[in-house]
Structure 1
Amino acid sequence: MYYNGVYHLFYQYNPYGAVWGNIVWAHSVSYDLINWVNLEDAIYPTGPFDANGCWSGSATLLPGGKPAIFYTGSDQKNRQVQNLAMPKNASDPLLREWVKSPHNPLITPPNGTDPNFFRDPTTAWQGEDKVWRLLVGSQIKGRGTVILYKSEDFVSWSRIGTLFNSLAETDMWECPDFYPVSTESRNSLETSELTKHVLKASFNSCDYYVLGNYDTETDRFSVENDFTVSSSGLRYDYGKFYASKSFYDSAKERRILWAWISESDSKSFDIKKGWSGLQSIPRNVLLSKSRKQLVQWPIEEMEKLRAKEVTAQSEDLKVGSVIKVSGITAAQADIEVSFEISDLAKAEIIDHNLVDPQLLCSSKTASVRGKLGPFGLLALASEDLKEQTAIYFHVLKKEEKFVVLMCSDQSRSSLMGNLDKTTYGGFVDIDPRHEKISLRSLIDHSIIESFGGEGKTCITARVYPSLAVGNEARLYVFNNGTVGVKISRFSAWSMKNARIASISKRRKLKTS
């Protein structure tokens, strides 16, 4: 959240180990969303309502701007209940101390709900009637859902029902999010003709969303599409990106989204290295001009970290080309590239039944020569290309329409074994007859966040090269198709380090 000139990040943290357990709310602050200072843990078990852990939740700014945190506590009976915490001193811009409500728990699992599937309250919002609403993730009769609650005083809450009844058979909806969005940031708090609402749910290790119209009088959410479990559905990110949370940044009138990125190695390896998991780069979220999906883009502050730049214009990427990019730190870089296709008539025709982009990418890896593709980047690559993570495109034709497929191939990302080396994929909603195929990739040693079609399709890769490490990492532009491709624009920057500091020791939990 943004409060009194400071950005606050709260996140799930284990003070005693690198893997899940002893969960508290850790707390870091920033003035620019790039450089951070770690503070004391903000919320930790203190009572019967959160004796077994302080789990996920959300912050809400009350009238007058005072923040409040709703979070899930695992109580002494191992039930999941919803609790409230407020800052001890709201005039402290760092909000270092939090006090829990004497009324906790404020919301307990309703009848008919498994107490093990009732968690992750959203940011609350007020309707025109000035009554507060919030959602809690759940699962009813084996199907994921969100339960809607109302309150006039932010303390006494009553169940209203469900916001949206999905037909999709999914696991529990974890970390739900619900917010307005428009094609322009400044409209994203308004309920107008320019605005739609986003309902996001995390399940099956992915973050899915639906768009629709929210009726503030009836609290009904009319969706334009349902959740789709396959990778052909709407997702924030088609790679390793989960349990995301958005907030409205009033300082710059924008909606910002970020997520937890888990590891691709084993629990034992996490324990050995002493840490596990990280936050994604903050992303600005808007509604696409087509109003059919979201677009995401790294926040503009990321450009403060850009250092040395290399550029190229109008370069042909011939058949079989692998061009090395020199002059930047390839292990820590920001790359923007655009491709043009001149001979679309040679696009490979695919069966109209092939609708799952991840399956397509799994069969059309970077090493499999196609016609119009694969072409793109080889990131975190070794000099001999034994290690590489490929982010690339295929231009295909299906039912007389051109389809742009974006893939992230991790099959050769490391020589190490026992790693998740899934190949990810998503379709990019652009027309290559009239639009250039653009890619932006942010590379940071073991993570690559990629944005295709100016943010219409995003894929995050979590990789662990053993050869392409530090100064040994290389970056290439390649074309493994049988048709030439033109690079219409290429810019790459070395990226400086963000500054991470601590100004106090972490609070230790009582072990009694």
Structure 2
Amino acid sequence: MAISPILLLAILSLIYGNGVLPIEATHHVYRNLQTLSSDSSDQPYRTAYHFQPRKNWINDPNGPMRYKGLYHLFYQYNPKGAVWGNIVWAHSISNDLVNWTPLDHAIYPSQPSDINGCWSGSATILPGGKPAILYTGINPNKHQVQNLAIPKNMSDPLLREWVKSPKNPLMAPTSSNNINSSSFRDPTTAWLGKDGYWRVLIGSKIHTRGMAILYKSKNFVNWVQAKQPLHSAEGTGMWECPDFYPVLDNKGPSTIGLDTSVNGDNVRHVLKVSLDDTKHDHYLIGTYDIAKDIFTPDNGFEDSQTVLRYDYGKYYASKTIFEDGKNRRVLLGWVNESSSVPDDIKKGWAGIHVSFDSSIS
């Protein structure tokens, strides 16, 4: 059975040593460059509607969620300038996804497991309504590892303070798990199987084979790598910012979103990956066998003519969240303006976020 194109349109109109594989980082770090101007009041290229902070560099949206009536958006941010580097998780809140108020940074380097950077990740709402963030940290060896943070005060609707697990890192490259230490990042929102195990995907690659590595956990702290990736494809390169979620297999239009943990006979799944080689977001539609933890797409990356994209301009590192109060799935993504580094420094900012939701058709 094929998913309705109208349904998809509704939904999609809405990142050596010790025996691990060698480092192949692709980020360009401009440590000594600073923003020349922080005045954005008279800049014709700033948007009046889409999300962007007052100044400096942003890239991937991270851990979006709705908590106690407020939307929370975390995002990769350079507090020191308008180029990539010094990355922290900045934090803004909104009650309508349009008007945003910035708060203090939520996550920043403070542990050995993230001392060289707090990179992209996702939020999961655990039973009882408790948010939990999984994110990629860069350790003293410049290896990419996965960390956990939880709110310090659950009664604070602004979620202003986050506490990192003393057991970090929870997932890491080792001499035995055949994971590239510089290609192991961007955990997804986790989903809960009927067997009681949480599952999460981490983007990775081995040589030119991109993959979504699967981990499972009973308690969200102790994670075990599955024997095989959820899905992989030769020749696709690094899979950044994977996203995995269910959609209804309807013949007609629908604006109903599904919780990330839903599965069943009338449910298909979408696997989205941000391809570092192409700098585009691509997605596959297919069937998820939760017993075998395997995703089988209707059409794979080997048929380049059938691989779909959320947007055919610049749109990258996107992430979706399910908003149960409105039964919709919201999509957020990063748009980079393609201006030069000197131009970004001169204007004092770089990057915007564009969001859509499944109630728009």
TM-score by length of 1: 0.54
Please say if 1:283 is aligned against 2:356: yes
Equivalent AA in structure 2 for residue 28 of structure 1: S
C-alpha separation in 2, matches of 1:261 and 1:100: 29
Whether the aligned pair in 1 keeps the contact of 2:125 and 2:132 (CA below 8 Å) is yes
C-alpha separation in 2, matches of 1:3 and 1:229: 40
Equivalent position of 1:188 in the other structure: 258
Equivalent position of 1:401 in the other structure: none
Equivalent position of 1:202 in the other structure: 274
Gapped runs of 5+ residues in structure 1? 286-298, 301-453, 455-512
Equivalent AA in structure 2 for residue 246 of structure 1: T
Identity score, percent:
56
C-alpha separation in 2, matches of 1:167 and 1:30: 38
Whether the aligned pair in 2 keeps the contact of 1:168 and 1:226 (CA below 8 Å) is no
Please say if 1:139 is aligned against 2:213: no
TM-score by length of 2: 0.76
The structure having more radius of gyration, on CA atoms, is 1
Which residue, out of 213, 229, 238, partners 2:312? 238
Gapped runs of 5+ residues in structure 2? 1-64
* Cα-to-partner distance string for 1:146-205 (whole Å, 9 max, x where unaligned): 110011111111000334444441110000000111253446233233321111100110
RMSD: 1.6
Equivalent position of 1:41 in the other structure: 105
Give the 3 Å change call, closer, same or farther, for CA 76–145 of structure 1 in structure 2.
Answer: same
Please say if 1:96 is aligned against 2:168: no
Pairing of 1:420-439 with structure 2 (within 5 A): none
Equivalent AA in structure 1 for residue 258 of structure 2: S
Please say if 1:3 is aligned against 2:67: yes
C-alpha separation in 2, matches of 1:160 and 1:222: 17
Which residue, out of 109, 119, 124, partners 2:190? 124
Give the 3 Å change call, closer, same or farther, for CA 251–140 of structure 1 in structure 2.
Answer: same
Whether the aligned pair in 2 keeps the contact of 1:70 and 1:85 (CA below 8 Å) is yes
Equivalent position of 1:414 in the other structure: none
C-alpha separation in 1, matches of 2:334 and 2:284: 20
Which residue, out of 202, 212, 233, partners 2:286? 212
Displacement of 1:229 after TM fit? 8.1
Displacement of 1:263 after TM fit? 1.5
Whether the aligned pair in 1 keeps the contact of 2:201 and 2:212 (CA below 8 Å) is yes
Equivalent position of 1:500 in the other structure: none
C-alpha separation in 1, matches of 2:101 and 2:227: 40
Equivalent position of 2:325 in the other structure: 251
C-alpha separation in 2, matches of 1:31 and 1:43: 22
Whether the aligned pair in 1 keeps the contact of 2:187 and 2:203 (CA below 8 Å) is yes
Equivalent position of 2:37 in the other structure: none
Equivalent AA in structure 2 for residue 195 of structure 1: V
Equivalent AA in structure 2 for residue 261 of structure 1: V
Determine helix, strand or coil for the equivalent of 1:39. Answer: strand
**Relative contact order higher in (CA < 8 Å, ≥ 6 apart):** 2
Displacement of 1:230 after TM fit? 4.9
C-alpha separation in 2, matches of 1:175 and 1:251: 25
